[in-house]
Amino acid sequence: MLPTPDTSHVPFSRVYEPSEDSYLLLDTLSAPAETAFLHARFQGHPPLVLEVGTGSGVVIAFVVAQAAHLFGRRDILAAGVDVNPFACRATNDTVRKAQVDHPGTHAPCWLGADVGDLAAPLPPGKVDILLFNPPYVPSEALPSLPPDAAAPSDLAGLAYSLSNLTDRTPSFDGDSYLLALSYAGGRDGMETTSRLVESLPDILSARGCAYILLCAQNKPDDVKARVGRLGPSWRALTVGESGNKAGWEKLQVIRISKDNVRDRRES
């Protein structure tokens, strides 16, 4: 078991706390089958890894800290995006800490976390590995994005952006609004994930792949079918699963890639 990055500095009142879903992503990425896949796919080509919705930063910090184990190389580039500026600040701190804690295996080139919607700040076709632990809990309304979010220290600005919320989010205030952004997924918990899946052909590089976490209510088979409709070479494969435990419903991680080579575990 590779160690989980330290997130003790993160303000969990306004940033999503690492949970069962985060740990399933770590376990999936570090499982022998996935490290073999990643080693082979990015041999001779240092990948750009982007995590969308970094929250505390525990997942991307793990990837950065364990680059030598996961990819067999430390020259990967890594970046993060989150709509919550506090999450971006927390992520930068978590990654820098993890780099210091893992001197022999970490990737030095952390590009940083920025505030944004999904992969919007990235140029098309650049991302080699996309990681997404989405807001997947079914909810009546999808909280709208803060229009012009504030810098982490700019609480006046945050209050401004919160006062500008549309009437779709009348009951959210301050911290609870920021947390809702991290889990509330609208209809079937899929409104945000669907937008990301549709944009994958624009985001990913030719050898790109995406790891997305889903819960049972997201109807994973429907998601896979939708990936198939992106084009004939698109594949979606379940590469990690956790059973029902401690109040968590069944979760899974699917790996989406554009590929002409069929994976041996694909049925």
Partner 1 sequence: MKVISLNFLTCAVKSCKSSGAAFPLHPKDAELVQDDIELNAQMLLNILPRLDWAALRTNATELGFPELPAELPTREALEADEKKLKDLHHLLVETQIMEGKLVCRNCGHEYAIREGIANFLLPSHLV
Q: Determine if 151 is a binding residue for partner 1 (CB under 8 A).
A: yes
Taking CB under 8 A as the criterion, the residue among 33, 100, 120, 159 binding partner 1 is: 120
Dmax over CA atoms of the chain, in Å, equals: 54
- Residue 137: DSSP 8-state: B
Q: Does 149 bind partner 1 (CB under 8 A)?
A: yes
In the complex, minimum distance from the CB of residue 81 to partner 1, in angstroms, rounded to a whole number: 8
Token pair listed for 24: 């399933």
> Tokens 């399933």, residue?
24
Structure tokens at 257: 């890639």
Q: What span, in angstroms and rounded, lies between the C-alpha atoms of 247 and 263? A: 33
Of residues 26, 122, 212, 251, which one binds partner 1 by CB under 8 A? 122
Q: Which is nearer to partner 1, 115 or 214 (CB)?
A: 115
Q: Name, in order, each residue with C-beta under 8 angstroms of 177's C-beta and a sequence gap of 6 or more.
A: 143, 162, 165, 169
Q: Please check whether residue 224 is in contact with residue 236, taking contact to mean a CB–CB distance below 8 angstroms.
A: yes
- Residue 92 interacts with partner 1 (CB under 8 A)? yes
Residues 6+ apart with CB under 8 A from 221: none
At residue 105, the 3 state secondary structure works out as coil
For position 79 contacting partner 1 by CB under 8 A, the verdict is yes
Cβ nearer to partner 1, comparing 113 with 213: 113
Is residue 155 involved in binding partner 1 (CB under 8 A)? no
- Segment interacting with partner 1, rule: CB under 8 A, options 72-80, 169-177, 217-225, 241-249: 72-80
Q: What's the length of the chain?
A: 267
253 neighbors 212 (Cβ within 8 angstroms): yes
Nearer to partner 1 among residue 14 and residue 235 (C-beta)? 14
Of 33-41, 118-126, 178-186, 253-261: span binding partner 1 (CB under 8 A): 118-126
Specify whether the CB–CB gap between 189 and 135 falls below 8 A.
yes
CA nearest to 177, candidates 185, 166, 169, 168: 169
Q: Residues 184-223 vs partner 1: string with x where CB under 8 A?
A: ------------------x---------------------
Residue 109 interacts with partner 1 (CB under 8 A)?
yes
Taking CB under 8 A as the rule, does residue 52 contact partner 1?
no
Judged by CB under 8 A, the residue of 13, 43, 154, 174 near partner 1 is 154
What are the backbone angles phi and psi of residue 233, rounded to the nearest 5°? -100, 5
Binding residues (CB under 8 A) for partner 1: these are 46, 48, 73-75, 77, 79, 81, 83, 85, 88-89, 92, 108-117, 120-124, 126, 145-154, 202
